[in-house]
Structures are given as C-alpha cells and as structure tokens.
Amino acid sequence: MACGSLPFARNRMEHAAIFGWALLWFAFWGVVGGVITPQIYARKDLEISQASFGGAVIGAALGPFSLLPLWIATPKIDNRMIGVAGALVVGIFITAFALADPDNLCVANGEFVISQLANGIVIGIIYGLMALGLTLIFSILGVVSFAHGEFYMIGGMVTYFMTAEWLPGAPPIVGILASCVVTFSIGYIFERIFLRPLGSGQIERPGEYAILVTFGLAFFLQYFTQALASANPVKAQRFFPFPRTEIPLDSGSLLRTTPGNITILDTISIPNPRFTAALLALIMLAALLWFLYHTWTGKALRAVSQDRQAAAVAGINPNSMNTLAFSLGAMLAGLSGASLVQVFSWLPQVGIPAAARSFVIIVLGGMGSLPGAFLGGLVVGIVEAAGTGCVPDATRAAAYIPAYGMVILTLVLLLKPTGLFGREL
C-alpha cells in the first residue's frame, strides 16, 4: 500500500537513493517476471500454477540475469527454487538497506540486531498462538471469526481483574485459568446460538451470515467490556519475577537474570514479561499439539477438518466438533491475551489491531493450516521487530506497526493468495 511505504519515503537515511533504486529494481523485475513467465510457460504447454508467483520472486531476485535463463530453459518451478530466490531477495534487500544507511543501529550494532530478532521471535510465538485459534476455527467451521480480537481482549481483561481487583494477590495461574473458562464459555454459547444453524441449511448464504454475525459479536463484546470495565488502560503485574542469578557465576555470563529482564550470552536481552508470555505460549502450543494428535477428540477434530462427510460416517458428530473448535479457538485467543496483559497496557480496543494481525498471519500461513499459522506468527513478529528497530524515524516507526503486517498481506494477496501452506482456493 502507498501508506505502508511512507515511513521509508521520508526519513534520515544517508544514501536513500540506493535503497530506493533497490526497491524499484524489485518492483520492476518482479512485475515483469510475474506477468511474462506464465505466458511463456503456457505457450510451452507447461504447468502454470506456480509460474506467476515463482516468476515474480525469481525476477525480483536477479532481474534479467535470472529471468532469461528461466524463460529459455523453463524448468519446473518447485518450492526449493522459489525458496532460494526468496532468500536472495531478502539478502539483497538487507544489503541495500545496510549500504543506504550505514549508521543505523540495525546495521552498525550486531548485538542490537540479535536482540531485536530474539524479541521478534518471542512476540511472534504469542501472535502464532492467537492465529492458531483463528485458523483452527477456519479449518473446521469454514468461518473467519471477526470476534477473535475481542476474545484476546477479554482474556487479558479477565486475567487482570482476577489477579488485581477481585482476588488481589491471587497467583497469576488463577487469572489465566479464569480467562480460559470465560473465553471458552463465551465461544461455546455463541456457537450454540448463532453458528449452529450454519450446518443445518436453515440459513441462506452461510458465509456472509458468519462474517456479519461474528462482526456483531465483536461490536457487542467490545462495548460490553467497556461498559463494565471502563475505558481506562490497565496493566497486570509481571507474572513471575525472575530470581537474580548469573550462570556461570563469574562475569561474562551465559545467562543473567534480574527480576525484570533476562540476558543470554550478554547480548540477547529479553524483558521478563515477554519471556514468560512466550514460555506460556509454548506450553499451550505443546498441550494443543498433544491434544490434536494424541486424543480421540483431537483426532476427530482433524478428521472433520479434512472431510466432514467422511468423519460423520465414521461416527464423529461434526456439529459438536464445530462447537468445540470455536470454543477452543476463542480460548486460544483468550490465552494469548492473558499472557500478554503483563506486556502491554490493556484497553477494550486492543483487540482490533491484534485481530488484524491474526488475519495477516493466517493469510500468510495459508487459511486453515496449523503450521502455517505458527510460522506466519514468527514472520510477522520478526518483521514488526525489524520495522520498529530499523526504520530511522522512531516515532513514525511505532505509529506504523500495524502497517508492516499490511504490507505482508498485500504482497501475499498479490503473489500467492493461498499462502505458504494453503489449500487451493
């Protein structure tokens, strides 16, 4: 989007021209590759499903030097080729940025880069957990829940109010469990009343109905929470303050912790709340995977997502799986909210950017793909961290955090609408 590129356009870069020309190079050869390659492949009667996307990536990588051989030899474009070309594009992008702005912290300071990367991965894990809930709902109900951000918001709110207002001094785990129960129940009730008729044919054009009714739920939940909890920002205490340790005990340590921070190898510094949140998210993820792959119910869920009719024939009730998937998805959003309420300050409106980010992630990962959602979460986390850390104008960089995700979304929609692991549309 034009708006998305604004932070790059006006900044204090030293040799902005280098970076500008690199972007122009990508855009020009990307378009040339994306448009001409499918025509050449079609003329030779070859498979063209990957040609547009592959051509664009290969064109952006080395321009005419890679496109001409491609057009002459017309090899089968496989994922490895696209992967190599994609890595080249990222490499050239980073080199161009480094040449253009040698004094930038992202270029000059290696420790900053590693730290920023680690923070991106840590926050990406939590984004991934939230998006996982959305993709779980999509894979089983075929519905994109527009109320996902509100479950995230409610998860955080319940955790905060439980540990800080209603039961002051309660251990955080009580708050987290309460948020699970609340979001699961809201998801359950909503699914039973409003989404159950989807499968029964009572409702014309179920897709449209689902979009609107979940959007209505989001509207309702947001103002319901605001009416109950007021619009003042709240923030929970950090859940588990670290003990003050150093491993090994002399200086130059491998691992040093203070109550608010953890430092690994003296370079990677991660604030405590983020670290705990990511750890929680990883535990949830492990539990979810165990549930999906090792219990009967989890296997039934996956069966329904693969083939509804066949699962029903095998004795699985698809309707109850719908309910379970929706409530579980809502609970996952609630959990990521519960683990992030100690990181960010919490308002009834926090759900909207979080939901928008989850949409980006599931489209990037491929709608309905569980590994895709997790990987997409990591990518978005890293891109946001890089965006906030590397864009020269810091205040602007912070204001445009949601825009980085949208740039990804636009590129994915242009180049590969099925996402990384998506099924064909």
Single residue of 28, 166, 219, 290 touching another protein by CB under 8 A? 219
Query: Cβ closer to another protein: 102 or 197?
Result: 197
According to the binding rule CB under 8 A, does residue 414 interact with another protein? yes
Measured distance CA(276)–CA(407) in Å, rounded? 29
If phi over 0 gives left and psi between -120 and 50 gives alpha, with beta otherwise, what is residue 225? Answer: alpha
Query: Cβ closer to another protein: 76 or 396?
Result: 396
According to the binding rule CB under 8 A, does residue 216 interact with another protein? yes
CB 143 within 8 A of CB 198: yes
Single residue of 224, 265, 307, 394 touching another protein by CB under 8 A? 224
Place of tokens 């590994």: 371
Give, as ranges, the residues between 315 and 374 that touch another protein (CB under 8 A).
349, 352-353, 355-356, 359-360, 363, 367
Query: Cβ closer to another protein: 209 or 240?
Result: 209
Which range binds another protein by CB under 8 A, 176-184, 241-249, 300-308, 408-416? Answer: 408-416
Single residue of 130, 213, 262, 284 touching another protein by CB under 8 A? 213
Q: Which two tokens stand for residue 355?
A: 């939901």
Which range binds another protein by CB under 8 A, 67-75, 180-188, 281-289, 406-414? Answer: 406-414
Task: Give the number of residues written for the chain.
Answer: 425
Shortest CB 194 distance to another protein, Å: 5
Q: Which two tokens stand for residue 148?
A: 């996902």
Query: Cβ closer to another protein: 55 or 405?
Result: 405
Measured distance CA(18)–CA(100) in Å, rounded? 6
Measured distance CA(380)–CA(412) in Å, rounded? 12
Q: Spell out a b/e string for 381-399, using b for 16 or more CB atoms within 10 Å of the CB, else e.
A: bbbbbbbbbbbbeeeebee
Single residue of 110, 287, 413, 423 touching another protein by CB under 8 A? 413
- Burial label, 61 (beta-carbon count in 10 A; 0-12, 13-18, 19+): buried
Residue by residue, DSSP assigns 266-325 as TTEEEEHHHHHHHHHHHHHHHHHHHHHHHSHHHHHHHHHHH-HHHHHHTT--HHHHHHHH
CB 210 within 8 A of CB 198: yes
Which range binds another protein by CB under 8 A, 81-89, 174-182, 289-297, 393-401? Answer: 393-401
According to the binding rule CB under 8 A, does residue 402 interact with another protein? yes
Give, as ranges, the residues between 227 and 246 that touch another protein (CB under 8 A).
227
Find, among 333, 149, 157, 172, the residue nearest to 230 by Cα. 157
Single residue of 217, 328, 330, 380 touching another protein by CB under 8 A? 217
Query: Cβ closer to another protein: 44 or 396?
Result: 396
Give, as ranges, the residues between 1 and 30 that touch another protein (CB under 8 A).
1, 3-4, 6
Could you give phi then psi for residue 230, rounded to 5 degrees?
Answer: 65, 165
Binding mask of the shown chain, residues 192 to 211, with x at each position contacting another protein by CB under 8 A: -xx--x-----xxx-xxx-x
Measured distance CA(275)–CA(81) in Å, rounded? 36
Shortest CB 260 distance to another protein, Å: 29
Within 13 Å of residue 57, how many CA atoms lie on the same side as its CB? 22
Query: Cβ closer to another protein: 258 or 349?
Result: 349
Query: Cβ closer to another protein: 2 or 72?
Result: 2
List Cβ neighbours of 43 (8 Å cut-off, separation of 6 or more): none
Which range binds another protein by CB under 8 A, 64-72, 153-161, 162-170, 214-222? Answer: 214-222
Query: Cβ closer to another protein: 218 or 292?
Result: 218
Residues engaged in binding another protein (CB under 8 A):
1, 3-4, 6, 144, 146, 193-194, 197, 203-205, 207-209, 211-213, 215-224, 226-227, 349, 352-353, 355-356, 359-360, 363, 367, 395-396, 399-403, 405-406, 409-410, 413-414, 417, 425
